[in-house]
């Protein structure tokens, strides 16, 4: 009764808004046709004034991570290894009314990749291969291949190929471990792809680049990890840095903040199978995409006069200051930035030794020119902390060497929980600033990478927050804020929102730091997606059809029903703890999210007639629940149960694919990850919308003040008018009519409604592209699509 009263009072107070649905909408496209070629086509005996695509071919390029947040000097410690993939889908455009065609090796073509002005890493950009580490566990670091680049991947293995083949008579001795039996060439990824360029691998219907690892359950071995989703061309896990060849002069010691170019240009060309480039009017068919890579801001707090540095001095720790003094004394070319990077690394290890009883610095020699940590060697955090993103499901990591090991918290929890309580950094609205304070914050424009002069930099050079008395959503730089579509004030409807999404728009995106409604869009911050609400929505799901949302789910329910289930009807708790976490003296929901997290049910377990372990789907009617926690030392972090989903806020069919195809990364009867999802048949969501944290349209503030200029320019490659930079339109690949609708839909109700046609292609899933137009519009009738536009417009 109390919950019902609270909810009713909230509605009465105007805290929850219910926009009217059913109103008419403009059926025109949000772009012009200035760059398209007019053409007349005949469809069903009807002549149509239409427009051909501007590009005879299109190559859509993306990456699988929002931004790879990685250190580049790993002399002392490595949190996450270097790993940037270039992924692509290629299409031959449908000219003169023909259907577009997805290009695969069956079409006798292949894709060549490289990174513009970034052909190497090791040396004056990165210390990785030259960092010694005992790979084979023989107690020394003298053997061929004893280096960190090999060491970090040795928990992954294959038997004979990257297609997931397991011999009938497999054994542990037959395993080929990445980094051990399969050593990684300098400046190459774990699959051997060179950073300097080469040909991409194509993944068929089942995906590819499949490696194996073992779980925490002794009986469950050979866990497959599909690293490349289906129908994707991939150059996997390149050791990319944020430094261009032409700008990198001098030793690695000379790097400064102004050297960073975090939004790298990855280039993909279309070649024939014999290696000859495909050309149009004498020009090679070539497109570029964005590969974001940057360094976390550890040094701002863990060196100089940063908070962690000051606390360490108060505790009597001195090694990190000796580290700084060594570099300043002996190397006149060292930049302040690099001296503090080394100081920060030692500070982190010194604090860890003191607080957790480790002995990482027991042999530290502050005057040694090399191998300053002695026989301990570089510290790899995932040796003790399970980490799903690197495929390490065990703790301790079974192939770890150099120091005493123990089972520890998942890496994600250990880092995020500690920082959430040590430096909560609430802004005036109570939202934490420390996500963007710790994660990368460099801009593409050199002059904006001066922490002292950039007014949008969220912290100063010593890690002090700048937006405690205002709204950190107006800050920017780095992997999300002032970049992604969800933080772009210039985005325009339709947003295709469900009731929860509408609540976020009215009560978060269009509300200032004082809680007052505003006309402009401030957007969402990190914790509006990475929160407890996201996790609870996933766990509630038991879907029979993810596109139509048939089955058990809260995602198509009213806001009252969602609040009742999630927060017992307590509106304030729902708002300030689950949906829009606020840090106060009474609560820290960001800390709770990580420190108190228990993983979702992975499978059900029972025994067969012979008493052997039998694993069943998570929603089976028999068996005992087995949480992700029991199988993975990384719990379910980075996987579908704990990552945000489009389906949280967007009305179906603007939702991910069903999971299960890439189990245990995702699960059946629930939503998969965005990066594994497809629509419009087999087209990756990322092909048309780009990758998370850099979704089209990224915020554009001119060539000198745009955080991520690369992605903005990338979108313009497919723009029908040279100005529109939103999600890729039908006109990129199809011949379209004056409404921007593919001419194949002539004679249907869709032909005069651009937005209903957009709904249609999101309804279409793998296999639907094979239907005739008549079958397609019967399966997904116009009336349903038009209704979705009206309901989700906002």
Task: Residue 559: name the closest of 5, 12, 17 by CA.
Answer: 17
What average pLDDT score do residues 765-769 get?
A: 93
What pLDDT does 64 receive? 84
What pLDDT does 12 receive? 35
What pLDDT does 31 receive? 98
Q: Are 735 and 96 in contact (CB under 8 A)?
A: yes
Task: Residue 539: name the closest of 615, 391, 624, 645 by CA.
Answer: 645
> Mean pLDDT, the chain, as a whole number?
95
DSSP state of 163: B
What average pLDDT score do residues 613-620 get?
A: 96
Cα distance between residue 322 and residue 349, in whole Å: 14
> pLDDT tens across 421-478, in order?
999 999 999 999 999 899 989 999 999 999 889 999 999 999 999 999 999 999 988 7
- Tally Cβ neighbours within 10 Å of residue 460: 13
Q: Are 673 and 759 in contact (CB under 8 A)?
A: no
- pLDDT range class, residue 10, cuts 50, 70, 90: very low
What pLDDT does 19 receive? 43
Q: Let me know if 32 is exposed, middle or buried by CB neighbors in 10 A (0-12, 13-18, 19+).
A: middle
pLDDT at 634 over 60: yes
- pLDDT range class, residue 57, cuts 50, 70, 90: very high
Give the DSSP H or E segment for 10.
helix 2-12
**Rounded to whole angstroms, what are the CA distances from 240 to 125, 126, 127, 154?**
9, 9, 12, 20
- pLDDT range class, residue 405, cuts 50, 70, 90: very high
pLDDT at 725 over 60: yes
pLDDT at 1 over 70: no
DSSP state of 223: E
What pLDDT does 4 receive? 40
Q: Are 730 and 757 in contact (CB under 8 A)?
A: yes
Cα distance between residue 727 and residue 313, in whole Å: 50
Q: Please give the full DSSP string across 332-370, using - where no structure is assigned.
A: TT--HHHHHHHHHHHHHHHHHHHHH---TTTT--TT-SS
Q: Please give the full DSSP string across 525-543, using - where no structure is assigned.
A: -GGGTSSHHHHHHHHH-EE
Cα distance between residue 58 and residue 93, in whole Å: 7
How many residues does this entry show for the chain? 794
- CB neighbour burial string for 702-716, b if at least 16 within 10 angstroms, e if fewer: eeebbbbbbbbbbbe
Cα distance between residue 524 and residue 711, in whole Å: 19
Backbone angles phi, psi at 365, to 5 degrees: -120, 110
Cα distance between residue 244 and residue 264, in whole Å: 8
What pLDDT does 699 receive? 96
Task: Residue 599: name the closest of 560, 566, 564, 631 by CA.
Answer: 631
- pLDDT range class, residue 375, cuts 50, 70, 90: very high
> pLDDT tens across 523-557, in order?
999 999 999 999 999 999 999 999 999 999 999 99
Cα distance between residue 359 and residue 601, in whole Å: 36
What average pLDDT score do residues 337-341 get?
A: 98
- Tally Cβ neighbours within 10 Å of residue 218: 8
Cα distance between residue 217 and residue 630, in whole Å: 7
What pLDDT does 11 receive? 37
> pLDDT tens across 711-722, in order?
999 999 999 999
- pLDDT range class, residue 679, cuts 50, 70, 90: very high
What average pLDDT score do residues 385-407 get?
A: 96
> pLDDT tens across 280-307, in order?
999 999 999 999 999 999 999 999 999 9
For β-strands 283-284 and 233-238, DSSP reports them as unpaired
pLDDT at 584 over 50: yes
Q: Which residues contact 256 (CB under 8 A, 6 or more apart)?
A: 335, 336, 337, 338
Q: Let me know if 58 is exposed, middle or buried by CB neighbors in 10 A (0-12, 13-18, 19+).
A: buried
Q: Let me know if 607 is exposed, middle or buried by CB neighbors in 10 A (0-12, 13-18, 19+).
A: exposed
What pLDDT does 422 receive? 94
- Tally Cβ neighbours within 10 Å of residue 701: 14
């Amino acid at each position: 009764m109390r919950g019902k009263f609270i909810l009713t009072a909230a509605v009465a107070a105007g805290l929850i808004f219910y926009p009217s649905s059913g109103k008419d909408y403009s059926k025109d496209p949000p772009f012009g046709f200035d760059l398209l070629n007019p053409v007349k086509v005949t469809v069903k005996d009807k002549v149509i004034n239409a427009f051909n695509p501007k590009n005879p071919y299109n190559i859509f390029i993306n990456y699988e991570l929002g931004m790879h947040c990685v250190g580049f000097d790993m002399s002392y410690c490595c949190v996450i290894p270097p790993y940037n993939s270039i992924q692509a889908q290629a299409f031959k455009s449908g000219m003169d009314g023909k259907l577009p065609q997805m290009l695969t090796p069956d079409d006798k073509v292949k894709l060549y990749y490289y990174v513009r002005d970034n052909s190497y890493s090791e040396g004056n950009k990165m210390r990785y291969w030259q960092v010694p580490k005992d790979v084979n566990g023989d107690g020394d670091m003298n053997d061929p291949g004893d280096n960190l680049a090999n060491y970090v991947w040795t928990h992954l293995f294959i038997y004979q190929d990257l297609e997931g083949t397991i011999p009938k008579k497999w054994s542990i001795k037959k395993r080929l471990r990445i980094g051990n039996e399969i050593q990684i060439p300098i400046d190459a990824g774990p699959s051997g792809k060179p950073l300097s360029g080469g040909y991409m691998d194509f993944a068929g219907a089942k995906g590819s680049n499949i490696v194996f690892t073992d779980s925490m359950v002794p009986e469950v071995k050979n866990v497959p990890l599909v690293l490349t989703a289906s129908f994707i061309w991939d150059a996997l896990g390149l050791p990319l840095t944020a430094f261009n060849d032409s700008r990198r002069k001098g030793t690695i010691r000379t790097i400064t903040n102004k050297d960073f170019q975090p939004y790298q240009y990855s280039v993909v060309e279309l070649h024939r199978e014999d290696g000859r480039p495909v050309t149009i009017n004498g020009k090679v068919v070539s497109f570029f995409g964005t590969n974001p890579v940057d360094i976390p801001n550890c040094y701002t707090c863990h060196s100089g006069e940063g908070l962690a540095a000051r606390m360490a001095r108060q505790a009597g720790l001195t090694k990190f200051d000796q580290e700084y003094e060594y570099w300043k004394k002996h190397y006149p070319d060292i930049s302040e930035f690099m001296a503090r990077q080394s100081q920060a690394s030692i500070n982190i290890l010194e604090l860890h030794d003191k607080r957790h009883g480790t002995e990482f610095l027991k042999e530290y020699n502050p005057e040694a020119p090399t191998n300053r940590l002695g026989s301990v060697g570089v510290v790899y955090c995932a040796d003790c902390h399970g980490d799903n993103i690197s495929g390490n499901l065990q703790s301790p990591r079974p192939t770890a060497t150099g120091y005493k090991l123990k089972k520890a918290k998942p890496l994600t929890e250990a880092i995020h929980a500690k920082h959430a309580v040590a430096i909560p950094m609430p802004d005036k609205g109570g939202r934490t600033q420390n996500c963007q304070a710790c994660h990368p914050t460099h801009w593409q424009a050199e002059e904006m990478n001066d922490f002292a002069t950039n007014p949008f930099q969220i912290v100063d050079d010593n890690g002090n927050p700048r937006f405690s008395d205002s709204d950190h959503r107006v800050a920017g730089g780095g992997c999300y804020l002032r970049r992604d579509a969800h933080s772009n004030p210039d985005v325009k409807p339709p947003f295709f929102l469900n009731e929860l999404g509408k609540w976020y728009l009215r009560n978060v995106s269009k509300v200032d730091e004082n809680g007052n409604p505003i006309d402009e869009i401030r957007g969402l911050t990190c914790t509006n997606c990475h929160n407890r609400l996201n996790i609870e929505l996933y766990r509630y799901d038991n879907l029979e059809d993810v596109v139509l949302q048939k089955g058990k789910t809260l995602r198509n329910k009213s806001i009252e029903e969602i609040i009742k289930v999630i927060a017992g009807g307590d509106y304030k708790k729902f708002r300030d703890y689950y949906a829009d976490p606020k840090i106060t003296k009474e609560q820290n929901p960001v800390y709770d999210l990580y420190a108190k997290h228990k993983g979702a049910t992975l499978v059900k377990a029972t025994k067969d007639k012979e008493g052997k372990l039998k694993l069943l789907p998570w929603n089976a009617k028999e068996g005992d629940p087995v949480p992700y926690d029991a199988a993975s030392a990384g719990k379910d972090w980075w996987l579908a149960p704990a990552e945000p989903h489009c389906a949280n806020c967007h009305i179906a069919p603007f939702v991910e694919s069903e999971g299960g195809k890439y189990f245990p990364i995702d699960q059946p009867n629930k939503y998969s990850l965005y990066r594994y999802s497809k629509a419009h048949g087999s087209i990756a969501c990322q092909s048309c919308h780009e990758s998370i944290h850099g979704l089209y349209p990224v915020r554009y503030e001119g060539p000198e003040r745009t955080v991520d200029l690369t992605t903005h320019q990338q979108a313009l490659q497919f723009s029908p008018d040279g100005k529109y930079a939103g999600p890729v339109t039908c006109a990129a690949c199809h011949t379209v009519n004056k409404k921007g609708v593919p001419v194949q839909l002539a004679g249907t109700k869709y032909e005069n409604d651009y937005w209903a046609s957009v709904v249609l292609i999101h309804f279409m899933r793998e296999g639907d592209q094979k239907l005739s137009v008549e079958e397609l519009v019967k399966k997904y009738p116009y009336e349903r699509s038009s209704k979705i536009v009206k309901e989700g417009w906002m």
